[in-house]
Structure 1
């Protein structure tokens, strides 16, 4: 039973981790932006998320390298989902702020892994960090950090 978009009804009876696990197994659809950004959820644990991705030609900038905004989308997804995996039943979260540092440019088509790790999970805020690394060579391409607010529904 897959859905086409987010509905608060999806949260009924689910913790954030359970919600993310249902996304992993396909019972809840990933955000449409993930298809546009070529992101796939590959692992879920409480406070930790792994995504697989590869920048497409559409993610290039005016000089042919990967656009900085694409790294922001990927890292926001990884860190935000890590935060989601820590929220209690019936709650969600949203990003308050995030920061991205691009260490080296990835090539279009490069197979990459993005991870998100929660550093602090409180009643009202969450703090997480993330990395984008090469799938085959483990080289670091970008890092990020975020602060999210917990939303009680």
Structure 2
């Protein structure tokens, strides 16, 4: 029975063009998703507490004043998808993606108001959302890059 040996040229490492999911990378994804969830929760609590917006349709309305489903499920999953997308872009592409996603999320926020998921006070301007989402996404990206370098 012949014995087959593994070639010394064989390598399990991924090519430089494909994202590697090393332990540090997985930790950075998890830490960034948790940071996004935490920041989104506290920002929502702050703005709801100030009375600038409300969530009329939310899970467990007697317990939470915010949409906990969004901050605990949607935001972390969206963050991971956002980071995976951002890794494939260059510097200018990342800046364009942040601007585009901020505009898209702000537009979705307006549609969510029409459906009744979200209500802003008349003092609210959707420009606040556009700028706020841009800062939020840029912050999450920067923190993700720092989390990657921590290992």
Please give the range of the TM-score, normalised by the shorter of the 2 chains. under 0.3
More strand as a share of residues: 1
Structure number with higher relative contact order (C-alpha < 8 Å, ≥ 6 residues apart) = 2
> What TM-score, normalized by structure 2, do the two folds share?
0.27
> What TM-score, normalized by structure 1, do the two folds share?
0.27
More helix as a share of residues: 2
